[in-house]
Amino acid sequence: MGMAASQARWLALTARKTNVEYEGQQVNQARTALANISANTFNDLLALEVPTAPSTQDFTTFQYSYKDGTNTETITLMDPINNDSEGFNYMITHHHFSDVFTGIETKKNNPQVYIENGVPQFVGNCEVTAYDETDTDQVLALKEIRNRFPNSSIGRVPEDQMASQIYTWVFQGTRYYATLDDLEKSFNSAKDHTKPTENQDKLTMYYAEPFSTKIEVTQKAFVDLDNSGRPQSIRYEDSTAVYALNTETITDENAYNDAMNQYHYAMEVYEKKIADINAKTKKLQEQDRTLELRLRQLDTEQEALQTEMEAVKKVIDKNIESTFKTFE
């Protein structure tokens, strides 16, 4: 190999070696960046909190009740009282459910009211009769209705006109009441007067039935507690009767189910985040393995370049030595 060729080869090898070293630096920088991203991903993983399943104990409370001879009373609230002059130590809210005769207002679509000479005859297939002031059941029902709806059409009928202005009928076991005025309005509202019982406007009507109603009372009481602080008996301010308290645990199933649904949703979110982090970590590892392989290739290439450069250097040194010997 001539001197010029050797020098050219040396420069080419030097340039390539420089490029390999630069590319190696770039690969190392890329691996460092990947390591930082991987560390941040790991920190994200550590920051995740595993959702905790709800416990039924968190939604379970003690409920106290007693029987006063007529009703079973359930205590819903016990607020402590301090320094009461009469010695009572709690303000108690308790309730029971009782059937209460209640007036109801309702409306009937297309009631099919039929009237002859201004007197109602039928509502649908039900025969209509005048309100009977001698019927105790009717009297009690109408009294409750009028008390409950004093400003309604039926509530405004004067007492001395109720027998002539209020009518009643029975449908499926329930007795209904309506005023003559409301019955006439529905009858006269038919769109086709040749078919007076078809397509009538709604009829306002009333009935009264026993409905289960919550009866709630709040009053002061003296509650006797056992050594563990659990209520044993109760005596109210307006009575000398002492009632033994029954204790039972009550679980709010609806609240527990809501909490469990939230837990399942939180677990889905958590598992999705874990899956995303694992997928990201796997991708980072694959990228790092690719860079590591490339770095090994560059190291191998650099060693080969170094070996070849040393060989070229020997050639150049030999050429220089031969040249100088010529001038001796």
pLDDT tens for each residue of 190-227: 988 889 899 999 999 999 999 888 999 999 999 999 99
Place of tokens 């796997």: 282
How large is the average pLDDT for residues 241-259? 92
pLDDT of residue 323: 66
Residue 181 CA to residue 245 CA, distance in Å, equals 55
Percent of the chain with pLDDT over 70: 96
pLDDT, tens digit (0-9, with 9 covering 90-100), for 288-306: 899 889 888 988 888 888 8
pLDDT of residue 302: 85
For the chain, the distance separating the N- and C-terminal CA atoms, rounded to the nearest angstrom, is: 23
Residue 106: which pLDDT band, with cuts at 50, 70 and 90? very high
For residue 149, pLDDT beyond 90: yes
Token pair listed for 179:
């005023």
Place of tokens 């006797």: 224
* Residue 41: φ, ψ to 5°: -65, -40
> What region does 296 belong to: left with phi over 0, alpha with psi -120 to 50, or beta?
alpha
pTM of the model: 0.50
Q: Which residues lie below 8 Å from residue 156, measured CB to CB, with a gap of 6+?
A: 150
- What is the torsional sign of CA 249, 255, 256, 259? negative
